[in-house]
Structure 1
Amino acid sequence: MNVFKRVRDITVATLNERLEQSQDPVRMIDQFLLETRRAITEAEQLQHHVTQHTRQLKQHVDQASAMRQKREEQAMLALQAEEEELARMALQEKVMYEEKENQYTELLDQNTEALREVQLQLNTLKSEYQAVYSKREYYYARMETLRLQQQMNRRFGNAVEGTPQAFGRLEDKISDWEIEAKALRDLRNGDSYSSSSHTTNGVSLDEELERLRRKLDPDRKEE
């Protein structure tokens, strides 16, 4: 059957070869599923036609069988009535229906085998479709994980790379603040120490103050 010959061209084995060469496995699988779905539809239609034809053949067989039996019974009745000519006519038709029954039985057997093959191939197609669909879900999950990882790298990559530099600049700035604060603290400590001390290097602060006053006022007399 041509439909199944064409279907075998898109089997899972062929799909695996195409996946190895594909940059987008999900898209390739979707294409395979689409083709398989079409093949399943065609196979279901074929199964329907073969089933209908099988029923018709069975009806022909049953009708021929019934007429064969009827003509044989009529021939027996004709012989019992000593109507030999009628018996011959009945037997002639009985032989004709018997031949017809045999012919249709042969066709029915062939068609029954064909229907069995269609059903087997259809079940195989459906099983392959389900198996590939499950694999498609797995590949889609992998591709989505990869896409999200790439998105995260684009979003946070630069920020992560620039973080050490940013902390380095902040460290320098804080160090400057600490140096400035220490200098002010040392200056305050020095003023406090000077104001509480009466001498510096052996010189009286009062003498130094008096010297500055005389410098400012030359007419000032020494006390």
Structure 2
Amino acid sequence: MGFVKRIRDITMATLNDRLEKAEDPVKLIDQFLWSTRDEIIQAERLHHQYLNHSHQLKSQWLNAEQQIERKEYQAMIALKAGEEMIARSALSEKTMLVESANSYRGLYEQSSGSLLELEDQLRELRQEYQLVYDKRSYYVSRMESLRLQQRMNERMSFNNSNNPAEVMRKMDSRLNEMENESQSLREVRKNNGGIYGDPTVASRQSLAVDREMEQLKKKLNGEGWSL
């Protein structure tokens, strides 16, 4: 017999599977704990009602047993006094009381069995609640570890992109490039100084350089430079 109405959308049978798929397992566990706690309260209330009912049935059964003994004693006294009719009347009442006592006893035994079953269900609910509550602590710690790991990964990624050694390597490369350009410019200027020493040669070379310069400017303009 099931006494506690199952109102949970999540049961122990499905909780583990859903936990592995849940984006927020702690929230899922809290839902389970809330619904299980509601069932426990409902079961405790029902247990209290059953316990009172069982006590009443037992009291009625024992009261009937006492009346049976009393009617039997009255019948015995009446029979000793020669009052057979009174004795028969007392025994008749005793017979009805025996039936009543047996009925109350049957109800009491049935109620006691149901009470034991309800206590088993209540014990199971409490064990489920404690088990999942302990699991909640584990998942809270697990999610915190994951959050910290993600923060560490983000920091490591940032540090890698701003690695001092990599920054210095790029800076050295740029400085070397600038030094090479400066050296090339000095060599060009030095060579130009030799050309301009001879006016004829300088004039002829100047025209050639002008043509080369124009071609170079056109080439650079074609590549997007504005000269």
Normalised to the residue count of structure 2, the TM-score between the two structures is 0.70
Three-state SS of the structure 2 residue aligned to 1:104 is: helix
- Which stretches in structure 1 are left out of the alignment for 5+ residues? 176-223
Shift of residue 70, structure 1, vs aligned partner:
0.6
Which residue number in structure 2 is paired with residue 125 of structure 1? 125
Give the Cα–Cα distance (whole angstroms) in 2 for the partners of residues 153 and 37 of structure 1.
Answer: 39
Q: Flag the 1:174–1:85 CA change in 2: closer, same or farther, 3 A.
A: farther
Which residue number in structure 2 is paired with residue 6 of structure 1? 6
Moved more, 147-156 or 119-128: 147-156
Which residue number in structure 1 is paired with residue 134 of structure 2? 134
Is 1:168 matched with 2:169? yes
Which residue number in structure 1 is paired with residue 23 of structure 2? 23
Which residue number in structure 1 is paired with residue 107 of structure 2? 107
Q: Is the 8 A contact 1:50 1:111 kept in 2?
A: yes
Shift of residue 92, structure 1, vs aligned partner:
1.3
Give the Cα–Cα distance (whole angstroms) in 1 for the partners of residues 125 and 158 of structure 2.
Answer: 49
Shift of residue 165, structure 1, vs aligned partner:
2.3
Q: Deviations over 1:7-49 (max 9, x none)?
A: 6864311212322432211111111111111111111111111
Give the Cα–Cα distance (whole angstroms) in 1 for the partners of residues 127 and 39 of structure 2.
Answer: 13
Moved more, 73-82 or 157-166: 157-166
Shift of residue 168, structure 1, vs aligned partner:
3.0
Q: Is the 8 A contact 2:3 2:118 kept in 1?
A: no
Q: Is the 8 A contact 1:74 1:90 kept in 2?
A: yes
Q: Flag the 1:5–1:50 CA change in 2: closer, same or farther, 3 A.
A: same
Is 1:143 matched with 2:143? yes
Normalised to the residue count of structure 1, the TM-score between the two structures is 0.71
Aligned Cα RMSD in Å?
2.4
Q: Is the 8 A contact 1:3 1:42 kept in 2?
A: no
Q: Flag the 1:161–1:155 CA change in 2: closer, same or farther, 3 A.
A: same
What is the aligned-residue identity percentage?
46
Shift of residue 147, structure 1, vs aligned partner:
1.0
Give the Cα–Cα distance (whole angstroms) in 2 for the partners of residues 70 and 155 of structure 1.
Answer: 90
Which residue number in structure 2 is paired with residue 187 of structure 1? none
Task: In structure 2, give the amino acid aligned to 1:166.
Answer: V
4+ residue stretches of structure 1 with deviation over 6 A? 170-175
Give the Cα–Cα distance (whole angstroms) in 2 for the partners of residues 135 and 173 of structure 1.
Answer: 57
- Which stretches in structure 2 are left out of the alignment for 5+ residues? 177-227
Q: Deviations over 1:69-104 (max 9, x none)?
A: 110111011101111111111111111111110000
Give the Cα–Cα distance (whole angstroms) in 2 for the partners of residues 94 and 8 of structure 1.
Answer: 51
Q: Which structure 2 residues correspond to residues 147-158 of structure 1 after superposition, within 5 A? A: 147-158=147-158
Which residue number in structure 1 is paired with residue 96 of structure 2? 96
Which residue number in structure 1 is paired with residue 192 of structure 2? none
Moved more, 101-110 or 22-31: 22-31
Give the Cα–Cα distance (whole angstroms) in 1 for the partners of residues 161 and 85 of structure 2.
Answer: 111
Three-state SS of the structure 1 residue aligned to 2:4 is: helix
Give the Cα–Cα distance (whole angstroms) in 2 for the partners of residues 9 and 109 of structure 1.
Answer: 34
Give the Cα–Cα distance (whole angstroms) in 1 for the partners of residues 168 and 7 of structure 2.
Answer: 63
Q: Is the 8 A contact 1:36 1:125 kept in 2?
A: yes
Moved more, 29-38 or 162-171: 162-171
Q: Bigger radius of gyration, 1 or 2?
A: 1
Task: In structure 2, give the amino acid aligned to 1:118.
Answer: L
Q: How many residues align?
A: 175
Three-state SS of the structure 2 residue aligned to 1:4 is: coil
Q: Deviations over 1:124-146 (max 9, x none)?
A: 11111111111111111111110
Give the Cα–Cα distance (whole angstroms) in 2 for the partners of residues 3 and 21 of structure 1.
Answer: 32
